[in-house]
Chain A
Amino acid sequence: MASRTSLMLRGLSPYYCCCCFFNLSSRSSSSSSKLFFLGKNSNPTIRYCSTKATGGASSLPPPDVTHLAKTARISLAPNEVEEFAPKIQQVIDWFGQLQVVDLDSVEPAIRAESLHENAREDIPETFENREAIRTSVPSYDDPYIKVPKVLNKE
C-alpha cells in the first residue's frame, strides 16, 4: 500500500517507518539530506540528517518497542528490542522537530492537501486477472483461502 508521510508517531512500527523514510529519501535527492535507513534483516546503514535531529528534543514519550512490535506482529529478540529502541527514538525526534512550531493561531486542518473529493461512480468493474490473485495465495484450498486457526481477534 502506498502511503504518504502524514503519520501519527505513536502507531509506527519499525518496518513501517523505514518504508516511508525510503520514499522520502528518493524524493528529496536534490537537497542531499541523508536519512536514517533501517532494513529489517540488513545491516543498518547510517546516513545523517542535514538538520540537527536532536535539536528541540521531543517532549514525546520514548517508544515502548516491545509493545510496538507486538501490535505490529513482528517478533523481536530482546537484543533487537534494545538495538531498535534508540533508532526509533531518533526517527521520532526527527519528526519531533515539528513540536516547536507555534500553532496557536492556526486552524486545525483535516488533511494536508486540499484535493477535491475524488469519488467514483457505482458501476461494477470485474478485475480481469483474478486467477492470478488466487494462485498467488500460498495456501489456497479452492475455493477458499486457508488460514491457521486464530483464537482471538486482535
Chain B
Amino acid sequence: MASTFFRTIQTHPFLLLHPTAVFRRKNGVLRCTMRSTQTQTPTQEKQQSPQIKFSPQNPNKTFYEIPKGYEAIIGIETHVQLSTLTKAFCGCPCNYGSQPNTSICPVCMGLPGALPVLNSKVIEFAVKLGLALNCKLSLNSKFDRKQYFYPDLPKGYQISQFDMPIATGGYIDLDLPVEFGGGHRRFGITRVHMEEDAGKLLHSENGDYSQEITSPTLQYVFCSFMLIFRGSMVDLNRAGVPLLEIVSEPDMRNGMEAAEYAAELQRLVRYLGVSNGNMQEGSLRCDVNVSIRPVEQEKFGTKVEIKNLNSFSAVNRAIDFEISRQVLLHSQGQGDQIVQETRLWEEGSQETFTMRKKEGLADYRYFPEPDLPEVILTKEYVNSIRNTLPELPEMKRRRYEKMDLSMQDVLYLANDINVADYFDATIARGADAKLVANWIMGDIAAYMKNEKLSINDVKLKPDELAKLIASIKSGTISGKIGKEILFELLAKGGTVKGLIDEKDLVQIVDPVEIGKMVDKVLSDNLKQLEQYRGGKTKLQGFFTGQVMKISKGKASPGLLNKILLEKLNAKN
C-alpha cells in the first residue's frame, strides 16, 4: 500500500523540488527529509558524549588524500544556539521539544508595536566565546536588520550584526587525532557575532535530517497527509532564540581538519557552558565553503557552499566528496562547471547535490536596527568575564602533555570537561596520573558506556578512586581484587576501606601463610605435582589457581609465584 502512495507522490511535482527527492525509498524504508519540531530520533550515530574520534561509515576507509597538484581551501560558518533561559529579545522561555507555537509572544512573532529588548546573558556568552577564541572584542558594536522574506521569519528581517560584530580576528588551537597522524593546528577566526534564530519550517526544501519511517501504516498515513496538505507548516518556538555565528578563516585544507575544527568548537562551547553544541539537535550547525585550486595558483577557486551536515563525520565526508568532485571536473578541463552555488549533503547516497544556483549575491539591505541601542562593553566587564573562564581545552591538553601521558590519553581526558575535572580531582589527592588515566579510560569508561552515564553520575568519586589506587599501590589489596571491587564502587558507591573490611579482601603477604597454603595444595594434588616434576611445567598455572581458590583470591600474586616456584623445584 505504501508503495502505491510512493508512486503517486513521484508524479506530484510540488513534492519533488529537486530530483534526489524529498522522499527516497531505500530498503523498504521510507525516508523523508524534513524538520521535526518534536524530539528527533536521528539516524546518524547518536552521540552521548562529545566525539573525539568520529568513525566514517566504512571503518576500512583510509584517510582521503587530495589528488596531487591540487589544494583545497575550506572555511566554515558555525551557528551556535545559546543555552540561555530566554530568547534573545523577549522573555519567552527557550524550551527544547515543547508543543509547537507555545513559546511565543508579540516580540518574537513580529507583531506590530512590539519592541526587542536584549537579553544580557547573550552579551555575556558572546564575550565569553570571543575571549575563548582569542578574539579582539569590539567595545562598541551594534545590531543590524538582515531583510529577506521566508515563512519562518516572522518580522521579515533577522536581527543580526553586520559590519560591527562583537568579536573579530581570533584563532583556535586544536590537536588532530592520533589515528590520523596527530599534529597541531591553528585555525583563524574571522568574526563572532550575535543574532537571532528563525522558526522551524516543516517540509522545507532544506531538510535538516532524515527521519526513517519503518512502519508501513505510518508511511501510508504520512504520505497521504503530505498529498492533502499542499503547503508547509511553521513552528515559531525557535524564532528569536539567540545564536552566535562563528566565521572561520579559510584555513582548513581537508575534511578531517574541518571536522576536527567543528569538534573543537563543540568542546569549547561545552567547556564554557554557553551551549549544548549538539549537531543532531541543531544547537550546533555548520555550513562549509569548499573551493579547490591548482597548487601554483594564487587566486582562489570558485566557492561552493554545502549545507545539511548533521554530524562531524558528515562534515568530513561531505568535504572530501566535494573536493573530489571539483578536482575531477577541473582535471577534465571542465573547471567552469564548478559554479558558486549551495549544495546539500545527502547522507543516504553520500553525495552533494545542487540545491539552487546563486543568482548573484543576495541583497539583504542591511541597516542599523533602530529599535536596539548600541552594545557597549567596558574593560572592567570584559575582565570580569575573563576571570570566570575555565581552563580551556587547549590549555588542559598542554598541561596534561607535561604529565607524561600519551597523546591518546591527553585527547581523551581533555575532551569532556567533566572527565577532565574528575581526573584533576583524583590526581589532586596524590594518585599517579598515568594510573588514574588508565582507570578512567579503561574500566570506568566501559562502565559509563554500558550504563549510558556521564562521569558525574558515577557513584565512585575522585577521592575514593584515589584511595583505591593507593590501596593497590601499597599492597593492601591486589590489582585483581581492585578491579573486582571497582564495579561495586561504581554502581553503589561506598568507601574502599569499607568494602575491604566488609569482604575481608586484604591481600595476604605473609610468606609463611602463603607457604602453608602452597604446601596444602601440593600435598592435595600429588599426581599433578609428579607431572610437573616430570616436565609439564605448564601446570604451574593450575597450582596458582588452586592456591588462589583457597585464599579466596587474596594471596599476593607476586609472592605466591615466588614461593610456589621455590617449592615446586625444591625436591628436584
Instruction: Check A124/B113 contact, CB under 8 A, given A6-B368, A152-B356.
Output: no
Central interface residue in A120, A121, A122, by most chain B CB within 10 Å: A122
Central interface residue in B105, B155, B230, B371, by most chain A CB within 10 Å: B105
| Least CB separation from A9: chain B residue | B367
Q: Are A151 and B86 in contact (CB under 8 A)?
A: no
Which residue of B93, B115, B234, B376 contacts A145 across the interface (Cβ within 8 Å)? B234
Q: Number of B interface residues at 8 Å Cβ cutoff, please give it.
A: 62
Interface residues of A in 84-132 (CB under 8 A from B): 110-111, 113, 115-127, 130
Q: Are A146 and B231 in contact (CB under 8 A)?
A: yes
Is A153 positioned at the interface, with any CB of B under 8 Å from its CB?
yes
Smallest distance from the beta carbon of B233 to chain A beta carbons, Å? 4
Is B17 positioned at the interface, with any CB of A under 8 Å from its CB?
yes
Central interface residue in A4, A127, A148, A153, by most chain B CB within 10 Å: A153
Smallest distance from the beta carbon of A37 to chain B beta carbons, Å? 19
Interface string of B374-401 (1 = CB under 8 A from A): 1110000000000000000000000000
Give chain B residues whose Cβ lies under 8 Å from the Cβ of A145.
101, 151, 233-236
Segment among B63-71, B142-150, B484-492 that sits at the interface with chain A = B142-150
Q: Are B106 and A144 in contact (CB under 8 A)?
A: no
**Separation of A14 and B148 alpha carbons in the complex (Å):** 17
Q: Are A147 and B371 in contact (CB under 8 A)?
A: no
Give chain B residues whose Cβ lies under 8 Å from the Cβ of A147.
151, 201, 231-234
Is B104 positioned at the interface, with any CB of A under 8 Å from its CB?
yes
Give chain B residues whose Cβ lies under 8 Å from the Cβ of A133.
104-106, 109, 111
Is A46 positioned at the interface, with any CB of B under 8 Å from its CB?
no
Is B363 positioned at the interface, with any CB of A under 8 Å from its CB?
yes
Is B123 positioned at the interface, with any CB of A under 8 Å from its CB?
yes
Give chain B residues whose Cβ lies under 8 Å from the Cβ of A78.
none
Is A43 positioned at the interface, with any CB of B under 8 Å from its CB?
no
Give chain B residues whose Cβ lies under 8 Å from the Cβ of A113.
373
Interface of A (DSSP majority class): loop
Is B7 positioned at the interface, with any CB of A under 8 Å from its CB?
no
Give chain B residues whose Cβ lies under 8 Å from the Cβ of A127.
91-92, 104-106
Is B482 positioned at the interface, with any CB of A under 8 Å from its CB?
no
Smallest distance from the beta carbon of B128 to chain A beta carbons, Å? 14
**Separation of A113 and B371 alpha carbons in the complex (Å):** 11
Q: Are B101 and A134 in contact (CB under 8 A)?
A: yes
Interface string of B116-146 (1 = CB under 8 A from A): 0111110100000000000000001010000
Q: Are B150 and A150 in contact (CB under 8 A)?
A: yes
| Least CB separation from B362: chain A residue | A154
Is B164 positioned at the interface, with any CB of A under 8 Å from its CB?
yes
| Least CB separation from A20: chain B residue | B370
Which residue of B93, B119, B164, B205 contacts A120 across the interface (Cβ within 8 Å)? B119
Give chain A residues whose Cβ lies under 8 Å from the Cβ of B376.
116-117
Is B435 positioned at the interface, with any CB of A under 8 Å from its CB?
no
**Separation of A115 and B142 alpha carbons in the complex (Å):** 13
Q: Are A121 and B373 in contact (CB under 8 A)?
A: no
Interface of B (DSSP majority class): loop
Interface residues of B in 196-237 (CB under 8 A from A): 201-202, 205, 229-236
Q: Are A2 and B93 in contact (CB under 8 A)?
A: no
Smallest distance from the beta carbon of B165 to chain A beta carbons, Å? 13
Instruction: Check A143/B100 contact, CB under 8 A, given A10-B365, A71-B363, A120-B117.
Output: yes
Instruction: Check A71/B232 contact, CB under 8 A, given A144-B101, A154-B149.
Output: no
Which residue of B93, B99, B105, B164 contacts A143 across the interface (Cβ within 8 Å)? B99
Smallest distance from the beta carbon of B151 to chain A beta carbons, Å? 4
Is B85 positioned at the interface, with any CB of A under 8 Å from its CB?
yes
Q: Are A124 and B231 in contact (CB under 8 A)?
A: no
Q: Are A150 and B232 in contact (CB under 8 A)?
A: yes
Which residue of B84, B102, B149, B368 contacts A130 across the interface (Cβ within 8 Å)? B102
| Least CB separation from A154: chain B residue | B148
Interface residues of B in 146-187 (CB under 8 A from A): 147-151, 155, 164
Q: Are A122 and B120 in contact (CB under 8 A)?
A: yes
Instruction: Check A120/B365 contact, CB under 8 A, given A1-B155, A133-B104.
Output: no
**Separation of A122 and B120 alpha carbons in the complex (Å):** 7
**Separation of A152 and B341 alpha carbons in the complex (Å):** 13
Is A3 positioned at the interface, with any CB of B under 8 Å from its CB?
yes
**Separation of A149 and B205 alpha carbons in the complex (Å):** 10
Smallest distance from the beta carbon of B365 to chain A beta carbons, Å? 4
Smallest distance from the beta carbon of B152 to chain A beta carbons, Å? 9
Is B250 positioned at the interface, with any CB of A under 8 Å from its CB?
no
Smallest distance from the beta carbon of B346 to chain A beta carbons, Å? 19
| Least CB separation from B375: chain A residue | A117
Give chain B residues whose Cβ lies under 8 Å from the Cβ of A123.
85-86, 91
Interface residues of A in 6-58 (CB under 8 A from B): 6-8, 10-11
**Separation of A126 and B236 alpha carbons in the complex (Å):** 15
Q: Are B233 and A141 in contact (CB under 8 A)?
A: yes
Q: Are B100 and A144 in contact (CB under 8 A)?
A: yes
Which residue of A3, A10, A148, A154 contacts B370 across the interface (Cβ within 8 Å)? A3
**Separation of A124 and B375 alpha carbons in the complex (Å):** 22
| Least CB separation from B118: chain A residue | A119
Give chain A residues whose Cβ lies under 8 Å from the Cβ of B119.
119-120, 122
The contact sample of 16 A-B pairs, CB cut-off 8 A, is A11-B365, A73-B149, A110-B140, A110-B142, A111-B374, A115-B373, A120-B120, A127-B106, A133-B106, A134-B104, A144-B37, A145-B233, A146-B233, A146-B234, A153-B150, A154-B364
B positions within 8 Å CB-CB of A = 14, 17, 37, 84-86, 91-93, 99-102, 104-106, 109-115, 117-121, 123, 140, 142, 147-151, 155, 164, 201-202, 205, 229-236, 356, 362-365, 367-368, 370-371, 373-376
